[in-house]
Amino acid sequence: MTQYKQVIVVRQDLKMGKGKLAVQVAHAAVSSVEQTRKYKPSWYDSWIRENQAKICVKIEDEKKLRLLKGKVDEAGIPNALIEDAGLTQLEPGTTTCLGIGPLPSDIADRYTGDLKLM
């Protein structure tokens, strides 16, 4: 078990192709790492020294994704909500996924422990 992980939460109600999905998840991962590096440097450093664990989980729809974002914002956890530019497959501005942390695994599990792996 790793002490730190990054969680990427993806809307399962969107029908994204493999490549599209991968790019959205990568956006979330990079942006949320940047936020964490700035605002929680000790979490970032610990995660970099560990094995940079990432997991990808799914959530029902946009409403639940935004609700989750509200909760992690309130808790002061760095995160990044990704909207697609809409050049392919999706409408412009479609919210696709949320990157959270990296953060301590026990804190992560409080917010995302009930979500299934993608």
Secondary structure string (H, E, C) spanning 35-76: HHHHHCHHHHHHHHHCCCCEEEEEECCHHHHHHHHHHHHHCC
Contacting a second copy (CB under 8 A), which of 46, 55, 71, 89?
55
User: Which positions ≥6 away from 38 have C-beta within 8 Å?
Assistant: 78
**Distance separating alpha carbons of residues 30 and 34, to the nearest angstrom:** 6
Q: Is 14 in the site for a second copy (CB under 8 A)?
A: no
Q: Is 22 in the site for a second copy (CB under 8 A)?
A: yes
Least distance between a second copy and beta carbon 63 (Å): 22
Of 51-59, 61-69, 71-79, 104-112, the segment contacting a second copy by CB under 8 A is: 51-59
Q: Is 46 in the site for a second copy (CB under 8 A)?
A: no
Q: Is 10 in the site for a second copy (CB under 8 A)?
A: yes
Q: Are 48 and 95 in contact (CB under 8 A)?
A: no
β-bridge partners, 5 = 103
Q: Is 1 in the site for a second copy (CB under 8 A)?
A: no
**Distance separating alpha carbons of residues 61 and 14, to the nearest angstrom:** 8
Of 15-23, 63-71, 107-115, the segment contacting a second copy by CB under 8 A is: 15-23
Q: Which spans of this chain sit near a second copy (rule: CB under 8 A)?
A: 8, 10, 18-19, 21-23, 25-31, 33, 51-52, 54-56, 85, 117-118
